[in-house]
Structure 1
Amino acid sequence: MEQFTEKLLLLVMSKIEVTKIATLTGHNDCVYGLAPSKEANILFSADGNGMVARWNLEKPEIGDMVAKVQNSVYALHYREAGNQLLVGHNFSGLHLIDLDSKQELKSIELTSAQIFDIQSIGNLVLVACGEGLVVALDFDNWAVRKHLKASDKHARVIAVHPNQKSFAIGYSDHHIRVFDTETLDLQHTIAAHSNSVFALRYSPDGQHLVSGGRDAHLKVWNVSQDYTLHQSIVAHMYALNSLDFSPDGQYFVTGSMDKSIKVWDAHTFKLLKVIDKSRHAGHATSVNKLWWSAYQNFVVSASDDRTVSVWSLKFP
């Protein structure tokens, strides 16, 4: 049975068709942020020069600037109610942009450090910042509800459980911490990696939490068993920066400082495909952020090479 499974995986690996659909240009600095919208074909990107752009995957060659701030932008988050975009402005705070008018509605100074990630659960907005701070913001009142200070090192990435009852934070102190959404109390502390945790996502079924970090390892945690380690994989040559699941939950992708994108089976956690520069005209430098869109199953990648690439993956 094991030999049959391995042969089947090899067959799938050889049959996955990878096509580069487009290269989105216009950014003048490294692209760090990606965010989807309510429409599967619309996404946003942000760079180290403070520019935030909007793209349409139906016409990927055309983009428009929706915001420009003074400092780098690492984090974006779309809110469907009101068609608005939250922009994490490093060393300044959070800006709320109306996407219809492209005007700033309001802002709030949350931290004098970097803003690495933004997620929301209903009215609760979570902002992961430098110096180990996670700010819980009441969106309707536009006021801080609580400061979560569980570490002195950067809070790098946020993952919200599909049932929205808990969320996980990856830190530069090598740990993952899980919090209760209602009380904002700390539930679990996981000694996860040997270096900073950069990538974090729950599987769509909520059974696993998948993490990656500067140590280039991919780790899978059993959620229902108090986040015990399910699997540890040496996934890349250098830092694993980002990961995202396919809309159907069957696969996920990882992006790395080693310039590659890798495609994985979400059930066996086996490697299925490597997308790189030599074989697929991939990125020339670090892959910083990934998003797997429901629009024609496209994968979108952002890179230090100042471009955003759009990939079509067809599975046998």
Structure 2
Amino acid sequence: MGKVNVSKLKTFTGHNDCVYTLERTQHDHLFFSGAGDGMVVFWNLKESENGQLIAKLPNSVYALHYLNKANLLVVGHNYDGIHLLDWENKKEAGSLKMTDQAIFDIKSFGDHLYVGDASGTVTVVDLRSLNIIYKIKSSSKSARAIAINEQSGEMAVGYSDNKIRIFNLEDYQLVKELEGHKNSVFTVKYSPDGQLLVTAGRDAHLKIWDTKAGYIELEDIVAHMYTINNLDFSPDGKHFVTCSMDKSIKIWDTHAFKLLKVIDKARHAGHGTSVNKLLWSSYNDLLVSASDDRAISVWDIEFNS
């Protein structure tokens, strides 16, 4: 196994509260963040100075989703609904007061938006009309994380009832219910080739499911000391990263499911509190992490064979 070298390149500051989410754009070096201070900020990996404020909302922002074709940013505004932002001109392009719940995740496929909230509902929104066209209600516990498998036309949703449910994107019918986690599922992610689904959450276990074999569980790894908040794949799909309430980030081999590196405060001047979100950018393969410590860190990850 090759050695992994990690170095922290920069830290972005400016948020006044926990940073909960990161979202990529069509440009590899540009990304957004959302935080408990209600601020949505735009950042540039090519620059060292602080970001640009795009919007300031009254409540926390847990979820952001970038619409590539429209070049709009969808903001999940807790206890209010969604806002579509023309971020370049810093103005609202549309909004929908669809829920009085916390919004935990937003994804899109085609002309539809999928919004998961604390009531356990995944609301399907038509992006052209901004009308609600369907509500998927399979649990009374929070719908915490959403992943889209474009290859199979399926959507995986992780819930606080400890289950992951797979839905068909044509008719939103339940395809499969995955059990195995012992607590809330906080993150679900398909591998870039769509062949694996990786899930994790409050039980600190990492589970890997084979999508082609009907979601058979391939691995169950005790991956962190505390809650796993998020995970993301490298641009080439060969590796993935997890982050946790235990303040660490871990790098894994996708094919061997093996731990390759731990990034933490003691060894790498990592985050001092819970790490909430990860974004592995195609820009120089840089890894971006967001934390309760209000900071956004940028990491250079180098794999030596």
Taking structure 1 as the reference length, the TM-score comes to 0.95
- Contact kept in structure 2, 1:51 and 1:68, CA below 8 Å: yes
Give 5+ residue unaligned stretches, structure 1: 1-8
For residues 87 and 152 of structure 2, the distance between their equivalents in structure 1, rounded to whole angstroms, comes to 26
Find the partner of 1:83 among 71, 94, 101. Answer: 71
For residues 50 and 104 of structure 2, the distance between their equivalents in structure 1, rounded to whole angstroms, comes to 27
| Counterpart in the other structure of 1:71 | 59
Find the partner of 2:249 among 225, 250, 261. Answer: 261
| Counterpart in the other structure of 2:240 | 252
For residues 48 and 133 of structure 2, the distance between their equivalents in structure 1, rounded to whole angstroms, comes to 39
For residues 45 and 289 of structure 1, the distance between their equivalents in structure 2, rounded to whole angstroms, comes to 10
1:1-316 matches, within 5 Å, as: 9=1, 12=2, 15-163=3-151, 165-316=153-304
- Contact kept in structure 2, 1:222 and 1:229, CA below 8 Å: yes
Deviates more, 1:163-172 or 1:37-46: 163-172
For residues 218 and 152 of structure 2, the distance between their equivalents in structure 1, rounded to whole angstroms, comes to 22
3-state DSSP class of the match of 1:258? coil
For residues 312 and 100 of structure 1, the distance between their equivalents in structure 2, rounded to whole angstroms, comes to 28
Q: Alignment identity in percent? A: 52
Give 5+ residue unaligned stretches, structure 2: none
For residues 124 and 133 of structure 1, the distance between their equivalents in structure 2, rounded to whole angstroms, comes to 15
For residue 75 of structure 2, what is the amino acid of its counterpart? V
Structure 1 segments, 4+ long, off by >6 Å, are none
For residues 179 and 224 of structure 1, the distance between their equivalents in structure 2, rounded to whole angstroms, comes to 15
For residue 38 of structure 2, what is the amino acid of its counterpart? G
Deviates more, 1:306-315 or 1:60-69: 60-69
- Contact kept in structure 2, 1:211 and 1:218, CA below 8 Å: yes
Residues 162, 249 of structure 1: alpha-carbon distance in 2 compared, 3 angstrom cutoff: farther
Residues 60, 126 of structure 1: alpha-carbon distance in 2 compared, 3 angstrom cutoff: farther
For residue 250 of structure 1, what is the amino acid of its counterpart? K
TM-superposed CA distance for 1:286, in Å, is 0.2
3-state DSSP class of the match of 2:99? coil
| Counterpart in the other structure of 1:6 | none
For residue 259 of structure 2, what is the amino acid of its counterpart? L
For residue 278 of structure 1, what is the amino acid of its counterpart? A
- Contact kept in structure 2, 1:74 and 1:117, CA below 8 Å: yes
For residues 67 and 187 of structure 1, the distance between their equivalents in structure 2, rounded to whole angstroms, comes to 38
3-state DSSP class of the match of 1:75? strand
- Contact kept in structure 2, 1:82 and 1:98, CA below 8 Å: no
For residues 301 and 250 of structure 2, the distance between their equivalents in structure 1, rounded to whole angstroms, comes to 12
For residues 141 and 95 of structure 1, the distance between their equivalents in structure 2, rounded to whole angstroms, comes to 14
For residue 169 of structure 1, what is the amino acid of its counterpart? V
- Contact kept in structure 2, 1:18 and 1:311, CA below 8 Å: yes
For residue 256 of structure 1, what is the amino acid of its counterpart? S
TM-superposed CA distance for 1:49, in Å, is 1.1
Question: Would you say how many aligned residue pairs link Structure 1 and Structure 2?
Answer: 304
